Amino acid sequence: MTATYDGIIIGAGPAGSSAAILLARAGWSVALLEAKAFPRRKVCGECIAASNLPLLEVLGVGAEIRRRAGPELRRVALWRGGERISAPLPAHTDRHPWGYALGRESLDALLLARARSSGAGRRAHPTERRTCSLSRPTSSTPGSRRGFWPYWLSPAAMAAWS
């Protein structure tokens, strides 16, 4: 199987899905590749900073994030054993003063759904490898134990995983 796209994005987390949304809206044909199953929990993925809310609105998920999120994040605290230090967070802007708590699996699902509705195609294979050659044309070749080797071609690729 060979498929050709204007852009290939490897990693469908927040960075990859966001890039796919913007490229698809700009008229690119986009393949969004992800090796892991969604939804997924991720420690340290619970905070949506107020400074990110304008971008999330541009991406079309801001209102839904506010609807699903917990209370506004107005304080920060650190615990060590029985000790605790707490301080107020500064307001960011008048329009978006506070961030929100939202599980990473919810953020991933919202952005991936928006990427799909914007026209990005998500492609996954259970044994996809996170590899990509940046030669022209760019290719990504995930393999499988059964000998199935899909092949994607694109003049542009983005590695969007951590």
Q: What is the pLDDT of residues 22-63, one digit of tens each?
A: 999 999 999 998 888 877 888 777 889 999 999 999 999 999
| pLDDT value, residue 127 | 40
Span 2-29, mean pLDDT? 91
Pairing of strands 121-123, 72-73: unpaired
Of 58 and 158, the structure prediction assigns the larger pLDDT to 58
| pLDDT value, residue 121 | 80
| pLDDT value, residue 162 | 66
Please list, residue by residue across 40-66, b when 16 or more beta carbons sit within 10 angstroms of its beta carbon and e when fewer do.
Answer: eeeeebbebebebbeebeebbbbeebb
Q: What is the pLDDT of residues 130-143, one digit of tens each?
A: 333 333 334 444 44
Radius of gyration (Cα) for the chain, nearest Å? 19
Mean pLDDT value across the chain? 82
Phi and psi at 2, nearest 5°, equal -130, 135
Highest mean pLDDT among 4-13, 35-44, 151-160: 4-13
Q: What is the pLDDT of residues 90-116, one digit of tens each?
A: 999 999 999 999 999 999 999 999 999
- Superfamily, domain 2-159: FAD/NAD(P)-binding domain (3.50.50.60)
Spatial CB neighbours of 27, under 8 Å, sequence gap ≥ 6 = none
Whether 80 shows a pLDDT value over 80: the answer reads: yes
What are the residue ranges spanned by the domains of the chain? 2-159
Q: Which helix (H) or strand (E) holds 159?
A: strand 157-159
Residue 125 binned pLDDT confidence (cut-offs 50, 70, 90): very low
| pLDDT value, residue 134 | 32
d(CA 3, CA 9): 14
